[in-house]
Structure 1
Amino acid sequence: MLYFIAPFIGWFVSGIIKFIINYIRFGEEAKKRIGNGGFPSTHTTIMTTTTLLIGLAEGFLSPIFGLAVAVTYIIIIDATGLRMHVGKHAYILNRLERTNKGETTEALRESMGHTKVEILGGLILGTILAFTLNIIFKV
């Protein structure tokens, strides 16, 4: 059961922290920043929490832990690579739209990927959550 709720706990805790940080930095603008991007990386938090729980329960040399590490790594590569480039493209398209004299459309979200610091934040938060859940539920 814990493996099922751990991702939701990681998502919830990371989302709350991300919203608080954005509210401190951007005020009411924080509501528009809900979603991909920002500190800490929610995707990384979710995967790290679950992956470490698997390692703690099944062993760090188990095949399922190895698979979980591989999927976590793919998600991190995606967040720092592909989604970061999507955000850069959105930035350029938004600038082009502003220079166009025609009708305007809603701006594309520019904060899509993660910096290495945001990924590190997700790794640290996920580690803390995994060890905390392991202690509470004695996996």
Structure 2
Amino acid sequence: MYYFLIPFIAWFVAGITKFIINYVRFGADAKKRIGNGGFPSNHTTIVTATTMAVGFHEGLTSPIFGLGVAVIFIVVIDATGLRRHVGYHAASLNLLQNNKIHRESMGHTKVEVAGGIFLGVIIGFVADFLS
């Protein structure tokens, strides 16, 4: 049950953190910014928290921890590469159509991903400490 709950806790903490940051930055418009993109990266937080909880509990040399690190790399590459370029594509389409119907914030900057990794490590550590 321990490993099953960590992703949900990480998702919740990252989402609340992102909303608070957006509320401070944009006020009432924070609700419009719910979803992909922004600081911290939810996806990165989820896989990092789960992987770190496994690493702290099972050992940093365990095969399952190594697999988790590989998944983190895939998520980071996807967030900073493909999904970021999908956002650029949406921005171009919005310019061509003279309106904003496509969501432009899809991927993440390196800072947003780093925030997700940092938050994920903390959540993984706390989860292991409390178990």
Could you say which structure has the larger radius of gyration?
1
TM-score scaled by structure 1? 0.91
Distance apart, 1:26 and its partner CA: 1.2
Q: CA offsets per residue over residues 78-98 of structure 1, 9 Å max, x none?
A: 000000000000001001110
Query: Which residue number corresponds to residue 105 of structure 2?
Result: 111
Q: Residue 48 of structure 1 corresponds to which residue in structure 2?
A: 48
What is the CA–CA distance in structure 1 between the aligned matches of 2:61 and 2:29, rounded to whole Å? 45
Secondary structure of 2:60's partner? Answer: coil
Q: Structure 1 CA distance, aligned partners of 2:3 and 2:13?
A: 16
Q: Quick one: distance in 2 between partners of 1:59 and 1:111?
A: 36
Hey, which bits of structure 1, 4+ residues long, moved more than 4 A? none
2:7 counterpart of 1:7: yes
Structure 2: segments with no counterpart, 5+ residues:
none
TM-score, normalization by structure 2: 0.96
Give distance in 1, aligned partners of 2:94 and 2:30.
20
Letter in 2 for 1:110: E
Pairwise mapping of residues 11-90 of structure 1 onto structure 2 (< 5 A)? Answer: 11-90=11-90
- Per the TM alignment, residue 131 of structure 1 is displaced from its structure 2 partner at its CA by 0.8
Say what the alpha-carbon RMSD is for the aligned residues.
Answer: 1.0
Amino acid at match of 2:31: K
1:126 aligned residue = 120
- Structure 1, unpaired ranges of 5+: 99-103
Q: Partners of 2:70 and 2:30 in 1: how far apart?
A: 32
